[in-house]
Amino acid sequence: MALPPDARRPGADVLADPAGYFEDLERVAAGSTALPALRCLLVTAALRDDDTGRHTVRVGYMAELIGRRLGLDEDTCLRLRASAPLHDIGKLAIPDAILNKPGPLDATEMAVMRRHAEFGERILASTGEPLFRMAADIAGAHHEHYDGSGYPRGLRRDAIPLAARITAVCDFYDALRMDRVYRKALPDATVLGWMQEQRGRAFDPQVLDAFSDCCGELAEAHDWLEEQAARLFTMLRAQAAGQSPPV
């Protein structure tokens, strides 16, 4: 159930409660076979790596907010919310020893890790569902760089799908703001400074400007989103275990 309007955090008018995640998706893909598949993928993420799972949900809501700031239509923004969380689904094919290594990856390990982009695109492109077509674009291109220096294909500028350019900004911001096995979360000012250094290099300047316009809302909503994402994944784990989710 969504939070009442007076209980929402700043920016939450477009950041709906993740506990109502699947209900919201019905507005975009009512009756679509993508919905149960999406639930299965999120349950898998919840059971395998809860921290990453919550990160992906936050990225989805951030991508929606940036899409709105860019003036994208309602359906596209809602599809962003649903598709962006699948950007790292290809990591299901990466060995745990690499995925959870508590330190820097060597060159061989990094080459394996980078394959998650192509793996994710293959997984999601195996269906003709419109929702998953956007997700496949995001998974395959969210590590491409605006100047062509990214991977896996070295795409540049508009050759990178807009949904992937948006997700890349959200992914970078949120990933550095969370604790990882090999480092602590970084201060907001540090992350924002690094992002501006990558303007026109890693990141599309127009997308980065839209992010900058609403980064205050995103920063204020971050803890709220974390709480709601934790609720969602607690619910998914309980359902997978055949238990009643906690109230």
Domains along the chain with CATH numbers: 14-240 (1.10.3210.10)
Distance CA 123, CA 139 (A): 9
Are 160 and 144 a contacting pair, CB within 8 Å?
A: yes
Q: Each residue of 45-94: pLDDT tens digit?
A: 666 666 667 788 888 889 999 999 999 998 898 889 888 988 988 988 99
Structure tokens at 244: 């009643």
Query: What pLDDT score does 208 carry?
Result: 96
Distance CA 247, CA 164 (A): 36
User: Among all chains, which residue has been given the structure tokens 């599809």?
Assistant: 79
Give the chain's mean pLDDT: 81
pTM: 0.84
Are 84 and 162 a contacting pair, CB within 8 Å?
A: no
